[in-house]
Structure formats: C-alpha cells, structure tokens
A and B are shown apart, each in its own frame.
Chain A
Amino acid sequence: MRASEIRALFAVASRPEVVSLAGGMPYLEGLPLDVIGEMAQRVIATRGTTALQYGSGQGDETLREQILEVMRLERIEAHPDDVVVTTGSQQALDLVTRLFINPGDVVVAEAPSYVGALGVFRAYQADVVHVPLDQDGLVPEALEDALTALAREGRRVKFLYTVPNFHNPAGVSLSAARRPQILEIARRHGVLVLEDNPYGLLGFEGEPLPALRSLDEDGVIYLGSFSKTFAPGYRVGWAVAPHAIREKLVLASESAILCPSNASQLAISAYLATCDWRGQIKAFRELYRERRDAMVGALAEHLPRATWTVPDGGFYTWVRLPEGLDAKAMLPRAVTARVAYVPGTAFYADGQGSDHMRLSFCFPTPERIREGVRRLAGVISSESELVDLFGVAPGDGGTSIESPSPDLA
C-alpha cells in the first residue's frame, strides 16, 4: 500500500459514523466559549489598532512575560527576552530545523517520534536516527551507544529531538531520574537538545516533572504551546532558546512570516490575565483522564492479545498488535468497520512500526472510545484470520511520512 492511499483513507474518518481514534484535536467543548467570545470582542474593541496591526517578530512582550508564568509550573526560569512566540510550536520546530540542518545532517529522535517533526526533518533532508524508548522514556544507554556510533562514523549530529512528557505517539514520559542523564550524555557529545513539550501540563496525577530546560539553560531549546492546554485555533506556540540561537530564530521567523498574529497573541494574553487558566487545565486533565481510563479499560476488555502503554497524561496510547499483523495493511478494513487509527509506520523515518498503531483518546467521548475499540477488536480478529491463512509477515512501511491532517478529530 502506498502512503497517500493511507491519507485518502483518513478522509472517511471525519464522518460522524466513524469512530476516529486517529486524530489529535483537543476537546474544545470543554472551554467556556461564551467567556472567550466576550474576551475576544473586548480585545478588538479596546485594543483593536494593536491587535489587528503588525507586531514584533519576537512576539508580544506582555504575552512573553505571561509565558514565563506558564513555564514556571515546570520549573523553567527564563527571561522574556529568551522567548520567541511562533505560529504554533510547529513553526518553531521548522525554524530550528532550518537554522541547524544541512542536507544529510543527523537528527536523533525517539523511536517512535512525533510525525509532524519527522515531516519537518524530512523537508530539510535531515537523516533521522531513532533511539529506543521504554516505559521510562528515552533509554540513556541506547542514546549513548547511538551517539558514540555516529561519532565513530564521522556523522554530524545537530540535535536530539525529544518529547519528554506524555509522548506522542508512545504515551510514556521520561522519568525524573533519566532527565539529568540524557542531558549529560547530550552535553558530552556536543549535541543540542530540542525539547518539545506540548502536553507537559496535562498529567493525570502528581505534579509536572521538571522540564529538561529547567535543568540546562545552555544546551536545550524548549518548545511550548497553547494548542493542547487552551486552543490550537489561535496558533500560538513558543520557543525558549539560548541567546545566540534566539536572535537567529527571530530573524528566521521574520523572514518567514514577519510576525506571529497579534490578534491571537492578545486574545491569549487576555485569557491568561483574566481567566482561571490553571483551573481550565485542571478540568482538561480530568476530562482526558476519564477518556484514558475508558481507552485502557476497553483495550483490556476487547484486545487481550495486544499490548499498550498506559499514559499518565496527554492524548495517546501506543498499541502493539498481535504477532504478524500490519497496521497499515489493516487500515482499509478498519475504515470499512467505521473506526480509524494511525498506523505506527507514520512515526518512524525508516519504515519501522508496522506492528503498532496510535490510538488517541482526546476527542471522542468515553462511550465512543469504547465503541471504537470494540470495532477495532473485530477488525483485528478478521485480519488475524487472513494473515494466518496466507502466512505473511508484516511489511516494511516505506520511508514516506503520512498522517492525518491536523483537522481530523
């Protein structure tokens, strides 16, 4: 099966008849839309000539100060000058990659890794080397081995890309004990760390773990976002970078987009100033925890032959299919059964992952999640029968990176 065939199949997933466990859209019905509406109106009415005007390439200064407050929850101490506001953290990812990567340079990333980052790395012709993760996140010994091997081969490793909290797609977090170890290894090998942290505040229990950036100011570029904790439609994210890099990020951003949207920044700034955003995040955490429970419960009930990660936060669980099944080859059957997921191959740059799928629990209600997993069980059972019948092993996923578009539920 070819890659764009996969993407075409996702077209069906937006229909209400289909239970989509494929998307990554936050559940915005949890937001007080009336309050946010009034706030947006007030921003335009009182500060319209600023909100609708060009702004600073680095981003609105007040918002940058407020971002410090958000980051303090993960123990990051920074100065507003260190923050660059971007059009979603995805733009920051693009800018960092543009600054650092020449064709053939190596980016080290987790196995699996966020598909949207792999797409950016691919666009700049980086060579992605995957390093395994386990229940406690990226494995330090494996990172050490990979960096040593790459150095021996004379390869230029530009940065380590990592999603330390509630990983997309793996659902795991880098343990507190491993955080300093990973930083020490990267530092010793002269490799910058790109910490992508959209989900850090969406943990289901306990306090957020300290960000990697809180442990190392000079060796880490930190990416944050309001897309998961508030609303992705505003497209506001940010980067925190060491001084020399930050200046270049601002110039690169200006040449790409001139400046991030002032209207969006002022709206978010007003939201942070006047609404109980901490309470909102808490409400989201509870909502997503209930959905995680529904997902994990349904998996245990319906898919006894599969294994999966139990995330402590975020949006996703990572499911290993019963032996012999290929998630990509199975997708048409799932679509026929009115359920959608993302085949694991999307999350690797090298064709691995056909034995996994990513299931998201952020958007569908608990009831729909249970129904989706029930349908998936039927799909897996039929596909298992087929694979046993013909005795084939899962295929190589190819090297194209395909995932649903961001507006898929």
Chain B
Amino acid sequence: MSPAPRIAVLAGGLSHERDVSLRSGRRVAEALRGVGIEVSVHDVDADLVPALTELRPDLVWPLLHGASGEDGSVRDVLELLGLPYLGTDPRASRIAWSKPGAKTVAESAGLVTPRFVTLPQSLFRDLGAGRVLDAITTHLGLPLVVKPAEGGSALGVSLVTRAEDLPRAMVECFAYGDTAMIETAVIGVELAVSVVDAGDGLVALPPVEIVTDGPYDYDARYNPGRTEYFTPARLTPEVTARVADTALRAHRALGLRHISRTDLIVDSAGTIHFLEVNVAPGMTETSLLPQAAEAAGYHLGDLYRRLVLAAVDSPSESR
C-alpha cells in the first residue's frame, strides 16, 4: 500500500442530518489534506457510483449521518462495488442504527440500559392512543425520553416530565419516523465515549461530559456556547475506567469496526446506563469525538490518518 492512500469521503445524503454530515465531511477532508492525504468528497446521489467506480479510491470513509448512511445500506453498496471502507459493516450497522436493537444487544452483553418500549404509530391507532400512553406512564413512570427508533442528532427527541406533554412528544417523534422508542429518563452525568482503532487495537478516548442548559437537543449540539463540555469528564479514575470499559464492550458486542461513539449516563449510585451507539459519529467542530481526541493529545489530522491507514490494512470482511 502506498504511504498516502487516496480517500473518498462520503458526506451529505438525503437524510434529516444532511447538514451535519456535510460539515463532518468537510472537517475530516480538511484534516486529512492537512497531513498530505489526497481526499475527494462525494454526495450520495446518482453520480456517486460512477465516480467511485472511476476513482477506485484506496478507502471510502462514509461520514453520512442518518438513514442510508448509518443503517448499512450505503455500506452494502460499497461492498457490492468491492470498495474498502472505514467503519462498521452493513449488518452490524443495521443493528446499531436501531436504538432498540442496539439496547437489546448491549443488554445481552451484560450492560445496563434504561427500560424501554418500542411502538409503531399503527399500534397507537389500533389500540387507542390514550390507553397506550397511560400504560406507558404507569409501567415506565416519569420522566421519560421519547425518540425515533432510528435517527441521530437528537432530532425528534423529547424529554417528558409531565404526562400531559407525552402526546405532543409522540407527534414530534413520529414526524421523523414510524416507530418510537420510549425509555425511562435516567438522571445523571451524560457522557459520550468514542472508540477508535488507529492501529494499536481498540482504544476508548477520554469520556466527554455534556452539561446543557436544558435538553441536549439539536440546537445544543451544533450551536457553540449552549452546551458546556468537560473533557475528560469530571469522574473518579475508577468510574472513568468503567465508562471506557462499557464503551469498548458495547463496540465489541455490537460487532462495530474502526470507530464508534457510545452515549452513556452515570447515575448517582455510579451505575452506567447504555443509551445508544453511533457507527458514524459526528465530526463537526462541536462534535464529541474530535473533542475527545484532542483531549487525549491527538492531532486530529494525525489521528484520522492513522485511522485511515489502519482501515486500509484491515480490509472489510465480506458477510
């Protein structure tokens, strides 16, 4: 393999997170160019397959967030084209992309995750919305978090503290997708732990602690200043080690590759709750993985180059 592989970054797509993806893609592309790597950036449209077929890059880095970018389908196409790519394979992506699916796998692997139910919109229609919502609050209690079963960047996510706010939260959630996941809201320290394989095996980067004035929603994520981040998180060494271990276990249990970010909450008793995992973590200027990498002493361009080289050396397995 040549020392400077040619990389094709995929960014954009038609998901609700297009904007974030474009920004992630630009950031990564610039960081890689800064360390002398040749990068082209491509949107996911009718031109993509011919472009990749002609270019035959040494590696494709999908920085697509949401829908086909994270649910495995674009990765399926990369496999069909025989193009090596950075990140998780389609099958594991599909499971990780589904929040209930990821929680179920994490639970089987011995991780703790908030109690939850997954309900399609049609069920509310068939059984009567009021009855189902009553059953939810009775069974799971309050506060609750309502999220689309699939999707990122907290789009369509609401924290519900009063039962009368639940119907509106359901409407906002179903505007993004047909299935909702409703889980018990755990109060505690919110953390994001990125895991990377930059050639020395899997490493958990320092946890990032997220403190928001209000919910850590889309606005808080992408507008500098609305959220305070502590990197590394203000945790004891013992909790930090357990948090890192949890993220690594989630990464392995879900069969993820090269890069992931796991979102967790540590409650006041010190229990670590697994929330969700991202196979295409955000890479924008306010995103969590770049912050964690810098806190760990990495130069971003160097880290991305090492990730790329490691991925080029471990070609994707076909499944």
Contact = CB atoms under 8 A, between A and B. Distances in A.
Interface of A: 1-5, 7-9, 11-12, 15-18, 329-333, 335-336, 338, 383, 385-387, 389-392, 395
B222 interface: yes
The 9 closest A-B pairs by CB, nearest first: A11-B19, A2-B219, A390-B167, A8-B19, A5-B218, A11-B18, A332-B175, A333-B175, A332-B176
B219 A5 contact: yes
B115 interface: no
B124 A4 contact: no
Interface string B165-190: 00110111011100000000000000
Contacts of B14: 12, 15, 17-18, 338
Nearest to B219: A2
Contacts of A390: 124, 129, 167-168, 170-171
Nearest to A15: B14
B263 interface: no
A385 to B, nearest CB: 8
Interface in B216-258: 217-219, 222-223
Contacts of A18: 14
Nearest to A379: B175
Given A11-B22, A12-B16, A3 B219 contact: yes
Nearest to A12: B18
B45 interface: yes
A333 B124 CA distance: 18
Interface of B: 14-20, 22, 45, 121, 124-125, 129, 153, 155-156, 167-168, 170-172, 174-176, 217-219, 222-223
B137 to A, nearest CB: 14
A2 B213 CA distance: 14
Given A15-B45, A332-B155, A391 B167 contact: yes
A389 B125 contact: yes
Nearest to B217: A2
B124 A389 contact: yes
A392 B168 contact: yes
Given A390-B167, A392-B168, A4 B156 contact: no
A25 B170 CA distance: 35
Contact of B129 (A2, A332, A391): A391
B218 A392 contact: no
Main SS class of interface, B:
helix
Contacts of A12: 14-16, 18
A16 B46 CA distance: 11
Given A2-B218, A390-B129, A8 B167 contact: no
- Residue of B15, B20, B121, B172 ringed by the most chain A CB atoms within 10 A: B172
Nearest to B168: A392
A330 B174 CA distance: 9
A7 B22 CA distance: 14
Given A8-B16, A15-B14, A387-B171, 16 more contacts: A4-B219, A5-B217, A8-B18, A8-B20, A11-B18, A11-B19, A11-B22, A12-B16, A12-B18, A17-B14, A18-B14, A333-B176, A336-B176, A338-B14, A386-B171, A389-B121
B155 A392 contact: no
13 contacts: A2-B218, A3-B219, A5-B219, A7-B19, A8-B19, A11-B19, A329-B172, A332-B176, A338-B14, A385-B125, A389-B121, A391-B167, A392-B171
A391 B125 CA distance: 12
Contacts of A385: 125
Nearest to B221: A4
A333 B177 CA distance: 8
A187 B294 CA distance: 61
A348 B172 CA distance: 21
A228 to B, nearest CB: 27
A9 to B, nearest CB: 6
Contacts of B175: 329-333, 383, 386
A329 B176 contact: no
Contacts of A2: 217-219
A18 B124 CA distance: 30
A330 B176 CA distance: 9
A256 B57 CA distance: 47
B18 A1 contact: no
A8 B218 CA distance: 9
A4 B222 contact: yes
Contact of A335 (B16, B45, B167): B16
A78 B242 CA distance: 76
Contacts of B218: 2, 4-5, 8
A193 B210 CA distance: 48
Contacts of A329: 171-172, 175
A15 B16 CA distance: 12
Nearest to B166: A390
A88 B200 CA distance: 56
